[in-house]
């Protein structure tokens, strides 16, 4: 059992014709020798044996601080996210949840004037360390945003394949990995006969699963989800939640949510943040039924937030 999260110190033929709908996807499993975030980011990861179950990395935040200019939004957080578990981050708007999550794959620094201090470890590799390839970090740590963000001029196939163009070895591998990603996102059966259609023509829930497939296509070790269901209807939300349960078997997942019921349904662990600080973290059922901090109890019972 994983340790618990706790405070710590080519061809022009239409894509659907090129793919083989009846061909089962290759196993997503494989032994992981460690997250690769240094060196040449254009080099594809070596294929792992299919007989070994893939294990996501543990994530550790050590003294993480994040700033927008001189304003400190995340204030010295120490937190561990267990491998192959879902950890939900809850808290009122503006408490630093999304900022903290964006620091894990170094998206925070893309905002002008934004910076981070402290350490973010994937297993034992610091994503802010010397010699780290930022592109490789973002391949290893995928991200799904609050609203679906398909590329508006691209087909379904090209939306999913966008991150693979520099690494796939030929058209055949590209097709195979796109199919695997769509199957992994639970979308293949719904779109396999129209892969050349515009991605923006899908429903909102399908677009979000297509964006998840785009992240899965590059074989990430971690998936960050920033309120992925906030713009979706209940049926689409249920499909995303079922997908999260499946994905945690092979990757580590961190989800930011304002929906207390969703956190209770999908998360193994829940962390509560307030005013840029970590208040407490623990098994989800304990956080919602017998939290150790009165501020957590007030938040989860709706007294503020």
Three-state helix/strand/coil letters over the chain: CCCCCCCCCCCCCCHHHHCCCCCCCCCCCCCCCCCCCECCCCCCCCCCCCCCCCCCCCEEEEEEEEEECCEEEEEEEEEEECCCCEEEEECCCCCCHHHHHHHHCCCHHHCCCEEEEEEEEECCEECCCCCECHHHHHHHEEEECCCCCCCCCCEHHHHHHHHHCCCCCHHHHHHHHHHHHHHHCCCHHHHCCCCCCEHHHCCHHHHHHHHHHHHHHCCCCEEEEECCCCCCCHHHHHHHHHHHHHHCCCCEEEEECCCHHHHHHHCCEEEEEECCEEEEEEEHHHHHHCCCCHHHHHHHCCCCC
Report the distance separating Cα 173 and Cα 167, nearest Å: 10
38 occurs within a structural domain: no
Q: What is the pLDDT of residue 38?
A: 57
18 occurs within a structural domain: no
Q: What is the pLDDT of residue 165?
A: 77
Longest CA–CA separation in the chain, Å:
61
Q: What is the pLDDT of residue 49?
A: 40
Contact between 116 and 64 (Cβ < 8 Å): yes
10 occurs within a structural domain: no
42 occurs within a structural domain: no
Q: What is the pLDDT of residue 82?
A: 96
- Residue 289, domain extent: 54-300
- The label of the residue with tokens 């591998």 reads 173
165 occurs within a structural domain: yes
44 occurs within a structural domain: no
Provide the number of structural domains found in the chain. Answer: 1
pLDDT (tens digit per residue) in 188-199: 999 999 999 999
Q: Tell me, what CATH number does 80's domain have?
A: 3.40.50.300
Contacting residues for 289 by C-beta, under 8 A, at least 6 apart:
none
Q: What is the pLDDT of residue 163?
A: 83
* The dihedral sign for the CA sequence 235, 241, 244, 246: negative
pLDDT (tens digit per residue) in 74-112: 999 999 999 999 999 999 999 999 999 999 999 999 999
22 occurs within a structural domain: no
Q: What is the pLDDT of residue 40?
A: 54
2 occurs within a structural domain: no
pTM for this model (two decimals):
0.81
Q: What is the pLDDT of residue 48?
A: 41
Residues of the chain scoring pLDDT < 50: 1-4, 6-31, 33, 44-52
């Amino acid at each position: 059992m994983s340790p618990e999260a706790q405070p710590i110190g080519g061809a022009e033929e239409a894509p659907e014709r090129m793919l083989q709908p009846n061909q089962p996807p290759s196993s997503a499993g494989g032994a992981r020798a460690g997250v690769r975030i240094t060196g040449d980011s254009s080099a594809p990861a070596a294929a792992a044996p299919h007989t070994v179950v893939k294990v996501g990395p543990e994530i550790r935040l050590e003294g993480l601080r994040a700033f927008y200019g001189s304003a400190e939004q995340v204030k010295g957080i120490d937190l561990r996210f267990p491998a192959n578990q879902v950890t939900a981050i809850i808290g009122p708007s503006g408490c630093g949840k999304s900022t903290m999550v964006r620091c894990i794959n170094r998206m925070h620094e893309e905002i002008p004037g934004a910076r981070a201090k402290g350490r973010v470890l994937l297993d034992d590799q610091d994503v802010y360390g010397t010699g780290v390839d930022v592109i490789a970090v973002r391949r290893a740590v995928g991200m799904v945003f609050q609203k679906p963000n398909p590329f508006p001029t691209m087909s379904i196939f090209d939306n999913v394949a966008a991150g693979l163009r520099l690494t796939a070895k030929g058209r055949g591998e590209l097709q195979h990995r796109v199919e695997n990603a769509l199957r992994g996102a639970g979308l293949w059966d719904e779109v396999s006969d129209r892969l050349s259609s515009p991605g923006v023509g899908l429903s909102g829930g399908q677009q979000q699963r297509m964006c998840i497939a785009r992240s899965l296509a590059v074989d990430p070790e971690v998936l960050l989800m920033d309120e992925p269901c906030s713009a979706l209807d209940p049926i689409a939300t249920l499909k995303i939640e079922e997908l999260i349960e499946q994905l945690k078997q092979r990757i580590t997942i961190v989800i930011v949510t304002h929906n207390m019921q969703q956190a209770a349904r999908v998360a193994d662990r829940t962390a509560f943040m307030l005013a840029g600080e970590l208040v407490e973290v623990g098994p989800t059922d304990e956080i919602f039924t017998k939290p150790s901090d009165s501020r957590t109890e007030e938040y989860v019972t709706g007294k503020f937030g």
